Amino acid sequence: MSLEYAARLRRIPSYPVAQTYEFGGELAKLASNETPFAPHPAVLEAIEAQVRTLNRYPDPSKARLREKIAGRLGVPAGTVAIGNGSCELLFAAADALLEPGAELVYAWPSFSVYPQLAAQSGARAIEVPLDSEHRHDLEAMAREVTVATRMVLVCNPNNPTGTALPLDEIDAFIGSLPRHVAVLLDEAYVEFNTLQDPDSSLPLLQKHANLVLLRTFSKVYGLAGLRVGYAIGPESFRAAVDQVRQPFSVSTLAQAGAIEALRHVDELERRVERTVIERVGMEDELADRGLAHAESQANFSWVSLGDRDEDEVMAALAKRGVIVRGGKSLGAEGFIRVTYGTAEENRRFLAALDAAL
Ligand X SMILES: Cc1ncc(COP(=O)(O)O)c(C=O)c1O
Between 198 and 229, name the residue whose CB sits nearer to ligand X: 229
> 125 Cβ partners below 8 Å, 6+ apart?
103, 104, 106, 114, 115, 117, 118, 119
d(CA 321, CA 58): 39
Least distance to ligand X, CB of residue 91, Å: 10
Between 36 and 356, name the residue whose CB sits nearer to ligand X: 36
Q: Does 58 bind ligand X (CB under 6 A)?
A: no
Which of the stretches 85-93, 164-172, 283-291, 342-350 binds ligand X when contact is defined by CB under 6 A?
85-93
337 phi and psi angles, rounded to 5 deg: -110, 120
Q: Does 186 bind ligand X (CB under 6 A)?
A: yes
d(CA 85, CA 174): 25
| Among residues 35, 79, 86, 116, the one that binds ligand X under rule CB under 6 A | 86
| Among residues 81, 188, 259, 336, the one that binds ligand X under rule CB under 6 A | 188
Between 87 and 138, name the residue whose CB sits nearer to ligand X: 87
> 130 Cβ partners below 8 Å, 6+ apart?
107, 108, 109, 110, 136, 137, 158, 161, 163
The mark string for 132-161 relative to ligand X (x by CB under 6 A, - otherwise) is -----------------------x---x--
Q: Does 218 bind ligand X (CB under 6 A)?
A: yes
Within 10 angstroms of residue 120's Cβ, the number of other Cβ atoms is 18
Q: Does 87 bind ligand X (CB under 6 A)?
A: yes
Q: Does 163 bind ligand X (CB under 6 A)?
A: no
Cis peptide before 16 (omega within 30 of 0): no
Residue nearest to ligand X (CB): 85
Q: Does 251 bind ligand X (CB under 6 A)?
A: no
Q: Residue 216's beta-bridge partner residues?
A: 229
Q: Does 346 bind ligand X (CB under 6 A)?
A: no
Q: Does 114 bind ligand X (CB under 6 A)?
A: no
Q: Does 39 bind ligand X (CB under 6 A)?
A: no
Residues 180 and 210 sit within 8 Å (Cβ to Cβ): yes
Q: Does 216 bind ligand X (CB under 6 A)?
A: yes
Between 213 and 303, name the residue whose CB sits nearer to ligand X: 213
Q: Does 331 bind ligand X (CB under 6 A)?
A: no
d(CA 26, CA 346): 14
155 phi and psi angles, rounded to 5 deg: -105, 110
| Among residues 31, 33, 211, 258, the one that binds ligand X under rule CB under 6 A | 33
Sheet holding 149-155, edge to edge: 80-83, 229-232, 211-216, 182-186, 149-155, 103-108, 124-129
Sheet holding 325-326, edge to edge: 300-304, 335-339, 325-326
| Among residues 36, 39, 85, 162, the one that binds ligand X under rule CB under 6 A | 85
Return residues touching ligand X (CB under 6 A): 33, 85-87, 111, 155, 159, 186, 188, 216, 218, 224, 229
